[in-house]
C-alpha cells in the first residue's frame, strides 16, 4: 500500500483515478476546491479517503496533502476552452499558478513523481494528423496556452530539481460522472442528455469537426502506468485511442445506442475551437506500455447506461 495525492479528485477524471487507487488498496488524499467538482463523484469512496477542500494555489494545504505521498496525480484545473476565452485570467490562475504550486510543494515534500493532466488542445490546428509529440505546439485558446505552460513547468522541475514529472496530453475524455449540466460541459454528455430528453442538440459548425474521443478508463490506466517507475521524466505524451470521429458520427452512434433520433440544430462555429484531433499514441505505448482497452462505441454504451441509471434515480440535469 502506498500513499497518493489526487488534485481535482472530486472532478470527472480525478474521481475515477481516486476510486481506482482506493480499490487497489492505496491510501488517497484528495485536494479539490469544488469549483467544478462534486462530492457526489466520490460517494463510493468517501469514507476511505482524506478530503482536503481548498485551492491548488494554497501551498500550505498542498504540503499537508503531499506529505509522505509517493506520487501526485495533478488533475485540478478549469478544464474548459470556452470558459478560458471568456475569462483567461481565472483559467491562468488555476491552471498555471496551480500547477507551479503543485510542483513546488511536491518538491518540498520529497514526492517522487508528479503526473500532470495536459491536453491535446496544445497542438491547436496542426495540419498533420495524427498529432505527434514532436510537432510544435500552437495553442489556440487561453486554456491550451495554460496547459502548455504547465508542461513547461513540469519539464523545468524535472531538469532543474530532479523531480520526476510527466505530462499526459489527454484527448477528449468521456465517461460516467462527466458533468452534463454545466455551461462549460463537454459535447458527449451534452448530446447524450439532449437525446435522452428528446430535445435537439446544438452542433457548432457543420459537425464535420473530429475528435479522438477517449473513454475515461483508458486515461486512468495511463495515469497509473505514468506514476510507476518508467524511465520517462520531463516528457509529455499523448493519451488517446488513435482514432477520430466527427460530431455527426457521434450523433449517429448515439442514435443507434439510445434507439431514438433527434434532428440537431446547426449553428455558428465556436471561437477557439480546433477542427480535427487524433492522437498518435506510439510514445505512450513504447514508454508506458499503454494501450487503450475500451473503444469508443463500448465507452459510449457504458456512458449512456450511466446517464440512464442516473435519470431513473431522479438526479438528471
Say which entry of ligand NAD, ligand UD1, none residue 10 contacts (CB below 5 to 8 A, set by partner kind): ligand NAD
Out of 143, 153, 157, 215, the active site residue is 143
178 secondary structure, DSSP code: -
Angle among Cα 118, 124, 130 to the nearest 5 degrees reads: 85
Which residue of 62, 94, 111, 203 would you call a contact of ligand NAD, by CB under 6 A?
94
Q: How far is CA 113 from the centre of its chain?
A: 18
Q: Which range binds ligand NAD by CB under 6 A, 19-27, 50-58, 63-71, 227-235?
A: 50-58
Containing H/E element for 267?
Answer: strand 265-267
Which residue is associated with the grid cell 443507434?
A: 256
**Who contacts 14 (Cβ-Cβ below 8 Å, separation ≥6)?**
6, 7, 8, 30, 32, 37, 73, 75, 76
User: What is the closest distance, in whole angstroms, from the C-beta atom of residue 84 to ligand NAD in the complex?
Assistant: 10
Say which entry of ligand NAD, ligand UD1, none residue 184 contacts (CB below 5 to 8 A, set by partner kind): ligand UD1
Using CB under 6 A as the binding rule, whether residue 13 contacts ligand NAD is answered as yes
Under rule CB under 6 A, which residues in 54-83 are in contact with ligand NAD?
Answer: 55-57, 75-79
CA dist 8 and 141 (Å) reads 21
Using CB under 6 A as the binding rule, whether residue 33 contacts ligand NAD is answered as yes
Using CB under 6 A as the binding rule, whether residue 8 contacts ligand NAD is answered as yes
Under rule CB under 6 A, which residues in 103-122 are in contact with ligand NAD?
Answer: 117, 119
Q: How far is CA 139 from the centre of its chain?
A: 17
CA dist 123 and 278 (Å) reads 10
User: What is the closest distance, in whole angstroms, from the C-beta atom of residue 26 to ligand NAD in the complex?
Assistant: 19
User: What is the closest distance, in whole angstroms, from the C-beta atom of residue 37 to ligand UD1 in the complex?
Assistant: 13
Q: Which residues bind ligand UD1 (CB under 6 A)?
A: 79-81, 119-121, 170-172, 184, 186-187, 190, 202-204, 209, 211, 247, 270, 273
**Contact letters for ligand NAD, residues 149-178 (x by CB under 6 A):** ---------------------x-xx-----
Neighbours of 107 (CB within 10 A): 17
Helix H segments across 162-295?
A: 187-197, 216-227, 247-258, 282-288
User: What is the closest distance, in whole angstroms, from the C-beta atom of residue 14 to ligand UD1 in the complex?
Assistant: 13
Task: Tell which residue, 38, 23, 292, has the closest CA to residue 14.
Answer: 38
4 assigned to active site: no
Catalytic residues: 143
Amino acid at each position: 500500500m502506498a500513499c497518493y495525492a489526487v488534485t481535482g479528485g472530486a472532478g470527472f477524471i480525478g474521481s475515477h483515478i481516486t476510486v481506482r487507487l482506493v480499490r487497489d488498496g492505496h491510501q488517497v488524499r484528495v485536494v479539490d476546491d469544488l469549483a467544478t467538482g462534486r462530492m457526489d463523484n466520490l460517494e463510493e469512496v468517501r469514507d476511505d479517503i482524506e478530503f482536503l477542500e481548498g485551492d491548488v494555489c494554497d501551498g500550505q494545504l498542498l504540503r499537508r496533502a503531499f506529505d509522505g505521498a509517493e506520487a501526485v496525480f495533478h488533475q485540478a484545473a478549469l478544464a474548459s476552452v470556452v470558459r478560458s476565452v471568456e475569462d483567461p485570467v481565472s483559467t491562468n490562475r488555476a491552471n498555471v499558478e496551480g500547477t507551479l504550486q503543485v510542483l513546488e510543494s511536491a518538491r518540498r515534500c520529497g514526492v517522487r513523481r508528479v503526473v500532470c493532466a495536459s491536453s491535446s488542445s496544445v497542438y491547436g490546428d496542426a495540419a498533420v494528423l495524427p498529432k505527434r509529440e514532436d510537432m510544435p505546439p500552437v495553442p489556440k485558446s487561453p486554456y491550451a496556452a495554460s496547459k502548455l505552460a504547465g508542461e513547461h513547468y513540469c519539464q523545468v522541475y524535472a531538469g532543474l530539481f530532479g523531480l520526476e514529472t510527466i505530462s499526459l496530453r489527454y484527448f477528449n475524455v468521456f465517461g460516467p460522472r462527466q458533468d452534463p449540466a454545466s455551461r462549460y460541459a463537454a459535447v458527449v454528455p451534452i448530446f447524450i442528455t439532449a437525446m435522452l430528453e428528446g430535445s435537439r442538440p446544438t452542433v457548432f459548425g457543420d459537425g464535420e469537426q473530429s475528435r479522438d474521443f477517449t473513454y475515461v478508463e483508458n486515461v486512468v490506466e495511463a495515469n497509473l502506468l505514468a506514476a510507476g517507475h518508467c524511465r520517462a521524466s520531463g516528457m509529455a505524451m499523448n493519451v488517446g485511442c488513435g482514432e477520430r470521429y466527427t460530431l455527426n458520427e457521434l450523433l449517429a452512434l448515439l442514435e443507434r445506442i439510445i434507439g431514438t433520433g433527434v434532428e440537431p440544430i446547426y449553428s455558428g462555429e465556436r471561437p477557439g475551437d480546433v477542427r480535427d484531433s487524433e492522437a498518435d499514441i506510439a510514445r505512450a505505448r513504447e514508454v508506458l506500455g499503454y494501450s487503450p482497452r475500451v473503444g469508443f462505441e463500448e465507452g459510449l454504451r457504458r456512458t449512456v447506461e450511466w446517464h440512464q441509471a442516473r435519470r431513473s434515480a431522479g438526479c438528471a440535469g
